[in-house]
Every structure is written in structure tokens, then in C-alpha cells.
Amino acid sequence: MKRIAMPARVWAAAGAAWLGLLGGVALPWLAAADELVIYSGRGERFTRPIVEAFEAATGIATQTLVGDSNQLLTRIEEEGERTQADVFLTNYAGLLDIARRRGLLQPYRSPAGERVPPEFHGPDDTWIAASARARVIVYNTDRVDPARLSSMLDLADPEWEGQLGITVSSNASFIGGLAAMIKQEGTERVRGFLEGIKRNAGNSVYPTHTPLVSAVARGEVAIGLINQYYYYRALAKNPALPLAIVYPDQETHGATVTVSGLAILRHAHNVPSARRFVDFVLSDAGQKLFAEVNYEFPVSPAVPAHPLLPQPGTVKFSPVSQALQVEAIDEAVALIKSVGLQ
């Protein structure tokens, strides 16, 4: 897997087009005709195992640009027909549906996707989910009684002032989880939730989930809001960490789910290889990587979750339909801005 290096002038660009083309700036690299080009909104640690396994299984060379999902979506739209990207892999499938509505995707019905439940398919086969994740509360076992954390809304309780850590609000999982919460709880309760976590977190706002989990383990903060797999990855490296998680809202709608996904771009140049990549992600081999390496929930019923994760029927999750509330994304972003979260 080649990771595309970007020139400083592109990485330094400000605003919504931070990763997009600047006026008059040419593409800084050129893919070979037979290479598959992937724009990935997932971190390299999650992208690399899938891409390298695909290369080993198929012999197809790849180039991968890893960045923020929102910014990559902007880049794809600005590049238009000039894009070299064939596949868009994102940590929040709701962004893929935005891309569909903007005419940036082309349909593909993968044979491997036939066993994936319908709720994980985008309209007209324009995108498909790759994995599912739960929004959970991670806590320091030396500082917290988990009985105090039964609902996601508990994070906004004043008792946690100065003890909560969160990621930056531009994080796609944060926005996607918030969009689902709007459907679950209503706009005003979510506004109160955001005001509460802003107060409780103060300056304990982390760029990504990994440093947030580390901060909870150190006792820098007592609790944090994360995707569940960051907790399992941390324990895999050091089982002695004083960490545990709560899958919240078991008495109501269940733990909020977010969904990662992928799609073939409308202006893809290497469609055959792009289709083989989608097939691979949805195959047993691909789904096992999400389960066994990344500690995510497979979307294929044929592949079990990692033994450390909750097994079917042991934890209640919110409906997948709530995880893809694309129409609530703008409302979620507006609420974040109105509250003034970082």
C-alpha cells in the first residue's frame, strides 16, 4: 500500500477545502493506470490491514490517501472529473449518502453484499456499510462507579464537571452519533446534552479517540465518549490498564450505533479493481479483519464479532436506521456551532 504524500501547500490550506484542491494547484501525484486509488476517511491503523490484505489476495497495487472524511468529501467534489480516486472509504456512512445526493457515486451491487442486511445498503446500491460500531462510555475503574453511567445523557450531569473527556466536535463519529441522538431524544434534549458536555469537558478536548482513551487510563479525566473498538485496542496492548466501558441506554433505545462504509466514485478510472475491493471488504476475509484486527462489528452475519465484544443478544443497540440519519447531520452541526463546542 502506498500512502500518498501531500505537499505542504495543500496540507496547510485552511477552511472547508483544507484537503481540497486550491485554485490552480495541480494534483501532486499521478497513479499508474492499473493502480487502485482509495480515499480513506479512516485512520491509517484501520485502513492499512484491509488494503494490504486486498493487495496480497488480488495482486492489485493501491495508493491510499488517508484524511478526515468530511474534508475528503469536499476534495472529491472539488476535483470532479479530474479526481484520481476510485473508492471512498469513510468512518461514517452518512457521508456516503451525502455524496450520493451530490451525484458523486456510481452504483455497484456486490455479490458478496447479498448477505448483508438491507439496512446496511445505500439507495440504488450506491454505497454499502463495511462495519458497525457502538458509541460507549469509557471510564477509569479506579475513579468511577459504573452504576452512575446508565445513559449517554448522564455525561451532561453536573457531577461530571471537570471529569469528562471528548473528541473534537468535527469528528465524524461524534457528528454521526449526535445525528442519531437527535432522532432518539429530540433537538432540545440534545442541545442540553451538548451544553452539559461542553461544561463538563472544559479544555479536555482531544483530537482523536486514541489520546482520549489514554487520558482516561492515566486518570487525567475519569470518563470519555468513544467508539467501542478504541477501548479493546487499548486493552490488547496493555491488559492492566484501569479501563472499562458501559454500553449505555440499555433500558431505552440501546447503545447508539455508527456505521462505516465505502463506495465507488462516479468518476473512478479503475472500476474493475474498485469493484474487487468492495467485494473483498464484504468477503469473509475482509469482514474478519474488521472483527479480529479492528474490534468492530461485521456487517455480514456470516462472520462473528471478536470474542471480547458483546455477543448477539447480550447488549441492546439502537436501530441501524438511526445511525444513518443524514437529514439530521445539518441539524447536528448547527447545534454544535450554537453551543460553541471545539
Q: What is the pLDDT at residue 170? A: 85
- Of 142 and 42, the one with more pLDDT: 142
My answer on whether 265 and 237 are in the same domain is no
CA distance 208 to 41: 13
Res 1: pLDDT: 58
Task: Say if residue 139 is in the same domain as residue 241.
Answer: yes
Q: Please tell me the predicted confidence (pLDDT) of residue 13.
A: 27
Residue 321 domain flag = no
CA dihedral of 336, 337, 339, 342, whole degrees rounded to 10: 80
Contact 164, 223 (CB under 8 A): yes
Is residue 318 in a domain? no
Q: Pick the closest to residue 87 from 236, 272, 242 (CA basis).
A: 272
Q: Are residues 26 and 166 in the same domain?
A: no
pLDDT, tens only, 254-290: 999 888 999 999 999 999 999 999 999 999 999 999 9
Name which of 265, 339, 342, 333 is nearest 75 in CA terms: 265
Please indicate, yes or no, if residue 231 is contained in any of the structural domains: yes
Q: What is the CATH number of the domain that holds 97?
A: 3.40.190.10
Question: Which ranges constitute the DSSP H helices of 80-171?
Answer: 93-101
Residues 31 and 61 grouped into a single domain: yes
Verify that 81 and 112 share a domain, yes or no: yes
CA distance 192 to 309: 31
Residue 173 and residue 245 in one domain: yes
139 and 113 belong to one structural domain: no
Q: Are residues 140 and 50 in the same domain?
A: no
Total domain count, the chain: 2
- Are residues 249 and 159 located together in one domain of the fold? yes
Q: Is residue 317 part of a domain?
A: no
Is position 203 within any domain?
Answer: yes
Residue 105, pLDDT score: 97
User: How does pLDDT run across 192-248, given as a tens digit for each residue?
Assistant: 999 999 999 999 999 989 999 999 999 999 999 999 999 999 999 999 999 999 999
| Cα dihedral sign, 280-285-288-289 | negative
What's the one-letter identity of residue 45? Answer: R
* 80 & 91 share domain: yes
Contact 38, 15 (CB under 8 A): no
**pTM for the full model?**
0.84
222 and 190 share one domain:
yes
Same domain for 161 and 82, yes or no, is: no
Distance between CA 245 and CA 166 in Å, rounded?
15
pLDDT tens digits for range 78-124: 999 999 999 999 988 888 989 999 999 999 999 999 999 998 999 99
Which domain range does residue 246 map to?
Answer: 132-256+327-339
Residue at 319 is within a domain: no
Of 22-31, 143-152, 209-218, least confident by mean pLDDT is 22-31
